[in-house]
Amino acid sequence: MPTYGERNLEFISGKGVYLFTKDKKKYLDFGSGIAVNSLGHCNPKLIKSIKKQSERLWHTSNLYSSSNQEKYAKRLCLNTFADRVFFTNSGVESIECGIKMIRKYFYSKNQRNKNRIITFEGAFHGRSIAAISAQKNKKYMSGFGPFLNGFDQVPFDNNIISVKNAISDKTAGVLIETIQGEGGIRPADIKFLKELRKLCNKKNMLLFIDEIQCGFGRSGKLFSYEWAKIKPDILAVAKGIGSGFPMGACLASEKVSKFMIAGTHGSTYGGNPLSVSVGSAVLDELLRENFLKKVDDISRYLWQKLIELKKQYNEIVEIRGAGLLLGIKTRKPNHIINKMFQDNHLLTICAGDNVIRLAPPLIINKTHVDEAIRKIKKSLE
Ligand SMILES: *Cc1c(COP(=O)(O)O)cnc(C)c1O
């Protein structure tokens, strides 16, 4: 279907931070798809893992137990706030699972009117009817009504009063991206996230964090909520989880997930052996000693270089973001993005609010950053 418009560029192979066209043109990939290829292209360890699994078993469905799946879920829990994991195949399915879980939680506690969720302006949670109803962004809604009831939206202004004002007896939870991705690379303040956690505790609301884009090491910690030293009740993840293999997960505490009893939710493919083999191998790498420290170091180096560019070019309005999810706010982003990829072979992604998004693989080093900066500079000139 023509949902993506005209597409003229095709890559036929990839290695590490680079992509190649049929006529052997080389591109530096600072988009990672859309913040997906966390370990770059064709990572040898991931290839080994999926190859091994593909020769043994592809699929059995969730009707049968799977020790690898359980082991992987346990490791995700050990390294996060979570007690339980539901495996999905994409980000929006993880969001759906979380929304259902919030509603089910209060329903099971006989607080059946408590079923509304607060969301934030500029949010992106996916393209399903529930997700577009939740994020209330006109750009994604036109023609797709009727929408789902049960979402109240507040400004994304790091002001806890905005949230307080939207709370009623019916408010069951808050859904937030710790760093807004599509909306223009806008991080929530650490102070605000702490206040939000407190408010949720006080008002008996569940905190549902969407780290589909900023999670799995992109912020320099395994999950960006760790920077605020808080714990969500529910966490939606996808994108970087499989470094390009289509998979996702919804993580939750025991308190919330215990009502998702047999028969309440399901997925044919979620947690399929192939995805588990890739997901486990990605996690091995992210948890390797110093891996996240290196992500943090290189992201600070990139940040510094971008700040220097901003001082030199009037075209740049602001540098923002966190870790390796950074945004260059410009006056005319499309023109510059075209220059970047057409003339200088640097791949970036546009985001809302005139932002050029940089989401390189987490394995980049200084050479890659310097190369990207040279290409951005040329494009600006
Ligand atoms: C991409 C994204 C989604 C949707 O994920 P899909 O895999 O496209 O369904 C949801 N939330 C955030 C923050 C995202 O970046």
Taking the domains of the chain in order of start, what are their residue ranges?
2-30+289-380, 45-286
Q: How far is the CA of 331 from the centre of ligand 1 (A)?
A: 26
Question: What distance in Å separates the CA atoms of residue 238 and residue 241, rounded to the nearest whole number?
Answer: 5
Establish whether residue 183 lines the binding site of ligand 1, counting it when its CB lies within 6 angstroms of any ligand atom: no
pLDDT at residue 73, as a whole number: 98
Ligand 1 closest atom vs CA 123: 13
What is the residue with the minimal CA distance to atom 10 of ligand 1? 125
Strand order in the sheet with 206-210: 84-88, 248-252, 234-237, 206-210, 171-177, 116-120, 151-154
pLDDT value, residue 144: 98
Separation between Cα atoms, residue 279 and residue 274, nearest integer Å: 9
Q: From the CB of 90, is ligand 1 less than 6 Å away?
A: yes
Top-level class of domain 2-30+289-380: alpha beta
Asked whether the domain spanning 45-286 has the same topology as the one spanning 2-30+289-380, the reply is no
**In terms of Cα–Cα distance, which of 124, 206, 202 is closest to 164?**
202
Ligand 1, closest atom to CA 35?
15
What's the pLDDT tens digit per position in 263-306? 999 999 999 999 999 999 999 999 999 999 999 999 999 999 99
| pLDDT, tens digit (0-9, with 9 covering 90-100), for 40-64 | 999 999 999 999 999 999 999 999 9
pLDDT at 333: 81
pTM, entire model: 0.98
Kindly state if the Cβ of 352 falls inside 6 Å of ligand 1: no
Annotation: CATH topology of 45-286: Aspartate Aminotransferase; domain 2 (3.40.640)
- What sign for the dihedral angle of Cα 283, 80, 192, 181? positive
**Beta-ladder partners of 356:** 328, 350
Q: Whose CA is nearest to atom 6 of ligand 1?
A: 91
Q: Say how many CA atoms lie within 13 Å of 270 toward its Cβ.
A: 22
Ligand 1 within 6 A of CB of 242: no
| Nearest alpha carbon, ligand 1 atom 11 | 125
The verdict on the CB of residue 29 being under 6 Å from ligand 1 is no
Identify whether 333 is preceded by a cis peptide bond (ω within 30 of 0): no
Q: Cα–Cα–Cα angle for 354, 41, 363, nearest 5°?
A: 75
186 lines ligand 1 (CB under 6 A): no
> What's the 309 CA to ligand 1 centre distance in angstroms?
30
Q: Ligand 1 pocket test: pick from 93, 97, 124, 185 the residue with the most ligand atoms within 8 Å of its Cβ.
A: 124
Q: Is the torsion defined by CA of 180, 184, 190, 196 positive or negative?
A: negative
Q: Is the CB of 216 under 6 A from ligand 1?
A: no
Q: What pLDDT score was predicted for residue 125?
A: 98
Give me ligand 1 centre to Cα 33, in Å: 12
Ligand 1 atom, smallest distance to 210 CA: 13
Closest ligand 1 atom to Cα of 180: 13
C-alpha 56 – ligand 1 centre gap (Å): 31
> What is the CA(282)–ligand 1 centre distance, in A?
19
Q: From 95, 212, 245, 269, give the residue whose CB has the most ligand 1 atoms within 8 Å, as the site to mutate.
A: 212
Question: Which tokens go with 95?
Answer: 């969001």
Beta strands in 222-365 (DSSP E): 234-237, 248-252, 316-322, 325-330, 346-347, 349-351, 355-358
Look at residue 9 and give its three-state secondary structure. Answer: coil
Q: How far is the CA of 190 from the centre of ligand 1 (A)?
A: 22
Pick left, alpha or beta for residue 3 (phi over 0 → left; psi -120 to 50 → alpha; otherwise beta).
Answer: alpha
Output the tens digit of pLDDT for each of the chain's 381 residues: 999 998 999 999 999 999 999 999 999 999 999 999 999 999 999 999 999 999 999 999 999 999 999 999 999 999 999 999 999 999 999 999 999 999 999 999 999 999 999 999 999 999 999 999 999 999 999 999 999 999 999 999 999 999 999 999 999 999 999 999 999 999 999 999 999 999 999 999 999 999 999 999 999 999 999 999 999 999 999 999 999 999 999 999 999 999 999 999 999 999 999 999 999 999 999 999 999 999 999 999 999 999 999 999 999 999 999 999 999 999 988 889 999 999 999 999 999 999 999 999 999 999 999 999 999 999 999
